[in-house]
């Protein structure tokens, strides 16, 4: 039994290897081609961003933000600050106020100004929590200044308490900004839209991206902690239903070009956040859920409080008949959202896109409004959503930009690849066109030249780095799945007539260098 190596890929992450990576490349190439025909350009945002960006966009109550993010403190170089902090901590306030107070206040003042200087010069980033802690610290400092040391025992006690509190706060104050490995890229694209003033470009701006995302989920088939998405976003311009429909048409075209089998498109509208639309519906839903609370599982019970819409997502068998009887959002949409939804469906029909309506499709991220959609594919088991998306008008504004319409999707590339492989659309191992079996010093020089010329002409060539016996070389050639073996020995070099062996049938022919190239070209064209 092979022994386990000391280092293994971390749970939920994996190596993508040949020949699978050829399929990954093919899929990504297809995305580039299809998306560019719809006017999309590629954006490559960073893989980590301030935690706050995701918390604000995706929503703090969502599973992604509350449980699944890989976040860490990006600590700056703060050695001066640490010294100032140590000085505050080293003054022992327990001995009493007299004599010590001046030093303590001085060191505290120094520490506070160092932090403020760091913030002003942008060398220091404080997380929201740290900002609030620092605010409290400064308030306590002001209180302390208003309480000069005296012979009065009460005052001294108060000072002592205040000083202890200040020392603890100072000690716990964390420097550095909390950053997060991106769990998705919509928030980054919106951030980039604002940062680069893209609202000044012709609208809408159409962008696509592909790359790794990170979520600390329980790994299983089709669910990883590092996974890959191919996504697209349309920002700015109107919210015309034709935009929603064209985006979905592009998506379905892409899947078709990839050869994905058994795709099913589900759509829904979740309206907009207003009392006469989604908010009103959620209140009604919540009230109905309260009535059946006892029959629901603990997850759903919790969600009644945190996010009642997510109860509709439940896959628990015993909850299904209960959920089916709940009020439906379609009956509570405002007139504009209702009209928009009807028009999206009409636009899809005009394009011949087949869809199914699913009133329970609410999506797991907070930024959605109106159109939501998901696509499932075959061969994926329980994790069969291969793509999710929807409209998110207002997200750019929420992140500090101008009011902007937005819609987009993200495809789970791992799942797309899995489904393609399950339906036999995987990539075959790539063999070699030509294996060069060379023998002798003189032949080696010719072999090097031949290898370079053949590779320049686009052929896949294997050149053994050391001389091999003829039989061994042919064995290697066939193990590597080579189509031809080019045999170069003293005779071939002397005559200028090279031997080309077709491995499938063992036939051999003699060819000049030029004739060989021509022959290989015609063979490639024919295959
Ligand atoms: P999402 O539904 O969270 O949406 O993810 C989109 C797709 O990514 C899913 O349908 C699934 O295929 C894949 N996916 C998600 N988590 C995992 C995982 N742990 N392992 C493997 N695949 C996974 C979003 O991310 C939105 N940003 C989509 C969007 C773009 N909405 C508007 N614009």
How far is the centre of ligand 1, averaged over its atoms, from the C-alpha of 182 (Å)? 12
Q: Whose CA is nearest to atom 26 of ligand 1?
A: 410
How far is the centre of ligand 1, averaged over its atoms, from the C-alpha of 79 (Å)? 41
pTM of the model: 0.87
Provide the H-helix boundaries in 151-266: 153-172, 186-195, 241-258
Quote the CA–CA distance of 418 and 424 in Å, as a whole number.
10
Quote the CA–CA distance of 383 and 380 in Å, as a whole number.
6
How far is the centre of ligand 1, averaged over its atoms, from the C-alpha of 387 (Å)? 6
How far is the centre of ligand 1, averaged over its atoms, from the C-alpha of 199 (Å)? 26
Task: Tell me what the mean pLDDT of segment 88-103 comes to.
Answer: 61
Quote the CA–CA distance of 442 and 446 in Å, as a whole number.
7
Coil, strand, or helix at residue 434?
A: strand
**pLDDT-based confidence at 422, cuts 50/70/90?**
very high
Q: Answer for the pair 192, 198: CB distance below 8 angstroms, yes or no.
A: yes
Task: Tell me what the mean pLDDT of segment 450-464 comes to.
Answer: 97
**Is the beta carbon of 186 within 6 A of some atom in ligand 1?**
yes
Q: What is the pLDDT of residue 74?
A: 86
Quote the CA–CA distance of 303 and 285 in Å, as a whole number.
12
Task: Tell me what the mean pLDDT of segment 21-50 comes to.
Answer: 97
Quote the CA–CA distance of 57 and 365 in Å, as a whole number.
8
**Is the beta carbon of 409 within 6 A of some atom in ligand 1?**
yes
Give the other-Cβ count within 10 Å of 62's Cβ: 22
Give the other-Cβ count within 10 Å of 356's Cβ: 11
How far is the centre of ligand 1, averaged over its atoms, from the C-alpha of 411 (Å)? 6
Q: What is the pLDDT of residue 155?
A: 83
- Closest atom, ligand 1, to C-alpha of 229: 8
How far is the centre of ligand 1, averaged over its atoms, from the C-alpha of 389 (Å)? 8
Task: Tell me what the mean pLDDT of segment 424-452 comes to.
Answer: 94
**Is the beta carbon of 229 within 6 A of some atom in ligand 1?**
yes
Q: Answer for the pair 184, 409: CB distance below 8 angstroms, yes or no.
A: no
Q: What is the pLDDT of residue 122?
A: 81
Quote the CA–CA distance of 300 and 303 in Å, as a whole number.
5
pLDDT at 162 over 90: no
Q: What is the pLDDT of residue 164?
A: 87
Of 430, 422, 372, 410, nearest to 260 by C-alpha is 422
Q: How far is C-alpha 419 from the geometric centre of its chain's CA atoms?
A: 20
**pLDDT-based confidence at 8, cuts 50/70/90?**
very high
- Closest atom, ligand 1, to C-alpha of 215: 19
Q: What is the pLDDT of residue 163?
A: 86
Q: Which residues contact 385 (CB under 8 A, 6 or more apart)?
A: 374, 375, 376, 412, 415
Q: Answer for the pair 519, 500: CB distance below 8 angstroms, yes or no.
A: yes
Task: Tell me what the mean pLDDT of segment 84-108 comes to.
Answer: 71
Q: What is the pLDDT of residue 341?
A: 98
Task: Tell me what the mean pLDDT of segment 192-205 comes to.
Answer: 98
Task: Tell me what the mean pLDDT of segment 405-426 comes to.
Answer: 96
How far is the centre of ligand 1, averaged over its atoms, from the C-alpha of 197 (Å)? 27
Q: Answer for the pair 107, 167: CB distance below 8 angstroms, yes or no.
A: no
Q: How far is C-alpha 95 from the geometric centre of its chain's CA atoms?
A: 55
Q: What is the pLDDT of residue 101?
A: 55
**pLDDT-based confidence at 482, cuts 50/70/90?**
very high
* Element housing 115 (H / E): helix 101-120
Q: Whose CA is nearest to atom 11 of ligand 1?
A: 412
Higher pLDDT, 116 or 177: 116
pLDDT at 319 over 80: yes
Using most ligand atoms within 8 A of CB, pick from 222, 224, 412, 420 the residue to mutate for ligand 1. 412
Q: What is the pLDDT of residue 239?
A: 97
Q: What is the pLDDT of residue 277?
A: 97
pLDDT, tens only, 328-363: 999 999 999 999 999 999 999 999 999 999 999 998
Rounded (5°) CA angle 489-495-500:
55
How far is the centre of ligand 1, averaged over its atoms, from the C-alpha of 403 (Å)? 25
Q: What is the pLDDT of residue 90?
A: 81
pLDDT at 34 over 90: yes
> Could you say which DSSP state residue 428 is in?
P
Q: Which residues contact 257 (CB under 8 A, 6 or more apart)?
A: 30, 33, 34
Using most ligand atoms within 8 A of CB, pick from 388, 390, 405 the residue to mutate for ligand 1. 388
Asked which of 25-34, 57-66, 235-244, 392-401 is least confident by mean pLDDT, the reply is 57-66
Task: Tell me what the mean pLDDT of segment 20-41 comes to.
Answer: 97
Give the other-Cβ count within 10 Å of 440's Cβ: 15
pLDDT at 32 over 90: yes
What is the dihedral sign for C-alpha 265, 38, 363, 335?
Answer: negative
**Is the beta carbon of 224 within 6 A of some atom in ligand 1?**
yes
**Is the beta carbon of 412 within 6 A of some atom in ligand 1?**
yes
Q: What is the pLDDT of residue 95?
A: 45
Task: Give me the half-sphere count of Cα atoms (radius 13 Å) on the Cβ side of residue 491.
Answer: 5
What helix, strand, coil percent values describe the chain, rounded to 5?
50, 15, 35
Q: Answer for the pair 215, 64: CB distance below 8 angstroms, yes or no.
A: yes
Task: Tell me what the mean pLDDT of segment 174-178 comes to.
Answer: 85
Q: Whose CA is nearest to atom 23 of ligand 1?
A: 412
Provide the H-helix boundaries in 121-152: 128-145
**pLDDT-based confidence at 119, cuts 50/70/90?**
confident
**pLDDT-based confidence at 127, cuts 50/70/90?**
confident
């Amino acid at each position: 039994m092979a022994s386990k190596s000391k280092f293994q890929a971390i749970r939920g992450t994996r190596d993508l290897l040949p020949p699978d990576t050829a399929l990954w490349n093919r899929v990504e190439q297809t995305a580039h081609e299809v998306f560019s025909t719809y006017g999309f350009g590629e954006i490559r945002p960073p893989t980590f961003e301030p935690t706050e960006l995701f918390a604000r966009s995706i929503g703090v109550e969502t599973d992604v933000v509350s449980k699944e993010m890989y976040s860490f403190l990006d600590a700056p170089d703060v050695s001066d600050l640490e010294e100032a902090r140590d000085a505050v901590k080293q003054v022992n306030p327990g001995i009493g106020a007299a004599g010590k107070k001046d030093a303590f206040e001085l060191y505290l003042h120094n520490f506070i100004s160092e932090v403020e200087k760091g913030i002003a010069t942008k060398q220091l980033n404080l997380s929201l929590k740290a900002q609030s802690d620092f605010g409290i610290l400064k308030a306590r400092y002001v209180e302390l200044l208003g309480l000069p040391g005296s012979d009065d025992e009460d005052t001294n006690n108060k000072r002592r308490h205040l000083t202890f509190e200040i020392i603890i706060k100072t000690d716990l104050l964390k420097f550095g900004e909390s950053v997060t490995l991106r769990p998705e890229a919509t928030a980054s694209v919106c951030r980039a839209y604002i940062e680069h003033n893209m609202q000044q470009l012709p609208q809408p701006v159409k962008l696509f991206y592909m790359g790794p995302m990170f979520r600390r989920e329980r790994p299983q088939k089709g669910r990883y902690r590092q996974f890959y998405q191919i996504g697209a976003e349309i920002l700015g311009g109107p919210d015309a239903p034709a935009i929603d429909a064209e985006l979905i048409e592009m998506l379905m075209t892409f899947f078709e070009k990839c050869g994905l089998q058994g795709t099913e498109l589900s759509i829904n509208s979740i309206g907009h956040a207003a009392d006469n639309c989604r908010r009103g519906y959620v209140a009604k839903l919540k009230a109905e859920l309260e009535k059946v609370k006892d029959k629901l599982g603990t997850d759903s019970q919790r969600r009644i409080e945190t996010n009642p819409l997510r109860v509709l997502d439940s896959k628990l068998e015993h909850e299904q008949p209960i959920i089916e009887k709940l009020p439906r959002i379609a009956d509570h949409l405002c007139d504009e959202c209702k009209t928009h939804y009807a028009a999206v469906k009409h636009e899809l029909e005009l394009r011949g896109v087949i869809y199914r309506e699913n009133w329970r499709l609410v999506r797991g991220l907070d930024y959605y409004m109106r159109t939501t959609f998901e696509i499932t594919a075959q061969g994926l088991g329980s994790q069969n959503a291969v793509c999710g998306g929807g409209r998110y008008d207002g997200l750019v504004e929420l992140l500090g930009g101008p009011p902007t319409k937005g819609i987009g999707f993200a495809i789970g590339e791992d799942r797309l690849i899995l489904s393609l492989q399950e339906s036999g659309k995987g990539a075959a191992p790539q063999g070699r066109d030509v294996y060069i079996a060379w023998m002798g010093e003189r032949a080696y020089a010719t072999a090097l030249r031949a290898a370079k010329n053949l590779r320049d002409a686009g052929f896949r060539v294997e050149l053994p780095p050391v001389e091999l016996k003829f039989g061994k070389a042919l064995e290697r050639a066939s193990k590597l799945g080579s189509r031809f073996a080019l045999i170069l020995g003293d005779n071939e070099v002397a005559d200028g007539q090279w031997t080309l062996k077709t491995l499938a049938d063992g036939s051999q022919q003699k060819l000049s260098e030029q004739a060989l190239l021509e022959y290989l070209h015609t063979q490639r064209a024919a295959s």
